[in-house]
Amino acid sequence: MLDTEREVPTPEGIELNLRLAGPVVRALAWVADLLLRGAVFLGVSAPLNMLGQVGSGILMVLWFALEWFYPTVCEVWFGGATPSKKFLGLVVLQSDGTPVRLPASLIRNLLRGVDFLPFLYGFGLASMLINRDFQRLGDIAAGTVVAYRETALKHGSIPSALPVPPAKPLALREQRLVLDLAARSPLLTVERAEELAALVPNVTGTEDPQRALARLLGIANYLIGRRA
């Protein structure tokens, strides 16, 4: 099976799981957006044509804006997706999982002209098929990916506890260890969870198993943003 899920570590030690969108669903979104832009253009063309050359000029500007800036406006100011992408549950993100920024959105959309070559997004499709993150050329240049929108954060598996800040700054590897062990603790016996927590006294500050587990759960709750 093809694995389309990518783990992106954050500075806070939390792994973001991005489910990347492949060529088929992205092609459907593109076709739907094309039809939407066409409907808008046809809807305003009749009244504008009545204005003669002035109306024709406005139509040319409108088509240019719809073709090149409509995706950028939607991606940057309306939740990272055009209406069609939102309907299909897609979102444009930076490669590190953060919301797409204006310069990156402009680059990825202006380079659609290159991706379209030699016809019908030939270069773009070839790029997506040989790239493990399904990035077309515009995505590679802009450092962006298209992923499925997640509806909820996956912190529910960490048991609630009184948040406790770590006694010292934790390295990224230590933060991941704390979060992974806290998330696994409900699946373990209490004795086993306490035994594992006692193995990292440099993180918990104690070798007592019961106190170590309680402190580890408190640190995990603090790392994911829960506050008393």
Q: For 175-208, how does the pLDDT look when each residue is reduced to its tens digit (9 = 90+)?
A: 888 888 888 888 888 888 899 888 888 888 888 9
Q: Are residues 95 and 52 located together in one domain of the fold?
A: yes
Q: Does the predicted TM-score (pTM) go above 0.75?
A: no
Is 112 domain-assigned? yes
Structural tokens at position 127: 């790029």
Q: Is the pLDDT of residue 227 over 90?
A: no
Q: Are residues 26 and 122 located together in one domain of the fold?
A: yes
Q: Are residues 117 and 213 located together in one domain of the fold?
A: no
Mean pLDDT of all residues belonging to the chain: 86
**Which of these three, 148, 181, 211, is where a domain ends?**
148
- Residue range(s) defining the domain that contains residue 217: 172-222
Task: Map tokens 């990518």 to a residue.
Answer: 6
Q: Where are the alpha helices (DSSP H) in the chain?
A: 23-49, 53-68, 70-77, 83-87, 102-110, 112-116, 122-130, 137-142, 172-184, 190-197, 201-204, 209-223
More confident residue, 62 or 228: 62
Confidence band (pLDDT; 50, 70, 90) for 228?
low
Q: What is the pLDDT of residue 153?
A: 42
Is 91 domain-assigned? yes
Domain count, the chain: 2
More confident residue, 15 or 160: 160
Average pLDDT over residues 162-173: 85
Q: Taking the CA atoms of 8, 129, 108 and 57 in sequence, report the sign of the dihedral they define.
A: negative
Residue range 20-46, pLDDT digits in tens = 999 999 999 999 999 999 999 998 888
